[in-house]
A and B are shown apart, each in its own frame.
Chain A
């Protein structure tokens, strides 16, 4: 068994773990367990990204998914109840119909996907190859991801920063940022 096959086995193993966690998240009623399991999901997803050599994405997934989201969801959970209300059977059935249709569409499209790890996919041969060949002469930094993110796709990244900024402003407007509004109002 060569190296590529071993990483492929790892990928399948991690995907099975992701599937098991998502089933557990759907089945559980205890919100605390659900939040912790979503954190575990992100951590395994991060491990999967490392296995796919996407280390930049893995760092962000581990920090955002397993770190921030878990903490924020826990903080939000403290403000509401600890148990989910059981959903009605009708909603289960309608969800099943939608998911079966969407799943069938995904399986239908599966045949057109390139082979796992194939080097001549559009993503690898087209603009991706262009970035890899042009980064050493134009930007001269070793990490091509940073070059693409900050320079070639600088406009995209600026949009992302403004989205993050808008999210921060939105939360600050909806929930008082200092969190002391109620106490100050009550004191006066």
Chain B
């Protein structure tokens, strides 16, 4: 736990806003700048800030390392499975138009939303995982950090 009261209070206010902004960047990505990549990074930063202020143990409880490991693969799998779904439904790989029976832009919307969700999951998880891997290490010879 960080001993500085100002940092703790301000980040307690900021972290929910960061997550809200990340979700906004993601779900508004079709209308404004943003999308899975940037939103994933913003969400990852939110978790990192939480870990920096409230300690690694609290962060590991909030977002367990296995969830990050699972999410990395799940996101990539989701993206690829959209491609295979369009392949099975009679189109080319990642041709989203065939995902809706009307074969119009609705299929494109479904595909884009699914794919962006995959990007979001993968990027967020990878960033959290890399941070856990780095921050969990100690300097050789030092005592364990709490």
Contacts and interface: CB of A to CB of B under 8 A. Distances in A.
Interface in B105-144: 105, 108-109, 111-112, 115-116, 118-119, 122-123, 125-127, 129-139, 144
Tell me whether chain A's interface is mostly helix, strand or loop, or mixed. Answer: helix
Interface stretch (A6-14, A22-30, A113-121, A166-174): A166-174
Interface residues of B, number: 59
A102 interface: no
Contact of B133 (A63, A140, A171): A171
Given A71-B131, A176-B136, A150 B115 contact: yes
A158 B122 CA distance: 11
Interface string A152-177: 00110110111011011101101111
Contacts, number: 164
Contacts of B31: 141-143
Interface stretch (A75-83, A87-95, A103-111): A75-83
Contact of A155 (B33, B93, B97, B132): B93
A183 interface: yes
B54 interface: no
Contacts of A60: 37-38, 41
B123 A164 contact: yes
A149 B129 CA distance: 25
B98 interface: no
Given A139-B108, A145-B33, A178-B65, A158 B135 contact: no
B35 A146 contact: yes
Contacts of B73: 165
Contact of A75 (B25, B115, B135, B144): B135
B71 to A, nearest CB: 9
**Lowest 10 A-B CB distances belong to which pairs?**
A179-B136, A168-B126, A55-B33, A63-B41, A154-B94, A175-B133, A75-B134, A140-B105, A59-B38, A141-B30
